[in-house]
Structure 1
């Protein structure tokens, strides 16, 4: 028995074709990994920004609540180095406890110092301007808050007057809320001092 060799040769991929295919595959894999790394980096930056915003929101809420109630003292709070050493901790000296990390001193690079809160801004009694700076940000975050006790004083010198629930239109001390006009409170009540 004799075997006849076929004149057709088997064809396969040459070494050059295989190397070109590997280079194309490598470029695709590198592009995909770069896209993944970029997305991961953006996610981390968004998470850090969210953390900073949460810290700032919490601090502003604490400060605003105290200013509005008339209980605020800028000497109560100070900035201290955080445990990680990379940011500042907003610290309550009265209760000797940290409030939040992630802040930086508004004027200097170190964490020492008190809260930057200016009282009676623009000559308006009870108006505060508070400045806070986030770690890594160039400009501080400024916000204005009004002391509600001062705002509702109506110029009578009676801080914290409370409405008399049994006598609409009057304060608890017996003084009228509205001296110059007959106010009906949007139809909800008709004050007894109103003759109309």
Structure 2
């Protein structure tokens, strides 16, 4: 009786099927990790833009209010559709330069060209609305104009 050397065709096919499942699982895990990394990177960039914009704007709005002496807004938000996303620029009008650029997921009404910091009727606080919330939704907050709240004793 002859002894068989090597693997049978069935054994090789089973080994290849197991190897294929392992490779597909590793590929799926890699793609999932890559997608998560991209999503976290996008959220980090939005958070970074939000922190910088809020810090800078809050200081100006607390000291001077939302509008300068001529009635022009200190900050202006412009958004436009670029490919499949919405690109927004927050402009510092007093310095005539962009303060921060950011991308948000494409939403139904991307196009915007509005002043930032709608002042309340009493002139005490300003309502600031930026599209940096989850999914590009508006994030709103109030900033109090300190000169109106706490008038100096020199006046």
What TM-score do the two structures reach when normalised by structure 2? 0.78
> What SS is found at the alignment partner of 1:160?
coil
The answer to whether the Cα contact below 8 Å between 1:92 and 1:98 also exists between their aligned partners in 2 is yes
Name the structure 1 match of 2:100: 100
The answer to whether the Cα contact below 8 Å between 1:63 and 1:72 also exists between their aligned partners in 2 is no
Name the structure 1 match of 2:48: 54
Tell me, in whole angstroms, the C-alpha distance in 2 between the residues paired with 1:119 and 1:107. Answer: 27
1:81 offset after TM fit, Å? Answer: 5.1
Tell me, in whole angstroms, the C-alpha distance in 2 between the residues paired with 1:81 and 1:97. Answer: 15
Work out which structure has the larger RCO, using CA pairs closer than 8 Å and 6 or more positions apart in sequence: 2
Q: Could you list the runs of 4 or more consecutive aligned residues of structure 1 that deviate by over 4 angstroms after TM superposition?
A: none
Name the structure 1 match of 2:149: 151
What TM-score do the two structures reach when normalised by structure 1? 0.64
Greater share of residues in strand: 2
The answer to whether the Cα contact below 8 Å between 1:70 and 1:147 also exists between their aligned partners in 2 is yes
Q: CA deviation digits over 1:64-115, x for unaligned, max 9?
A: 1011112542623223357x674111112332211111166x9942132322
Indicate yes or no: 2:81 matched with 1:67. no
The correspondence for 2:12, drawn from 14, 18, 21, is 18
Indicate yes or no: 2:21 matched with 1:30. no
Q: Which has the larger radius of gyration?
A: 1
Indicate yes or no: 2:118 matched with 1:118. yes
Name the structure 2 match of 1:109: 110
Q: CA deviation digits over 1:92-146, x for unaligned, max 9?
A: 2332211111166x9942132322x2223xx665122211113883531011111
Aligned residues: 147
1:43 offset after TM fit, Å? Answer: 1.0
1:16 offset after TM fit, Å? Answer: 1.8
1:166-177 matched pairs, under 5 angstroms: none
Greater share of residues in helix: 2
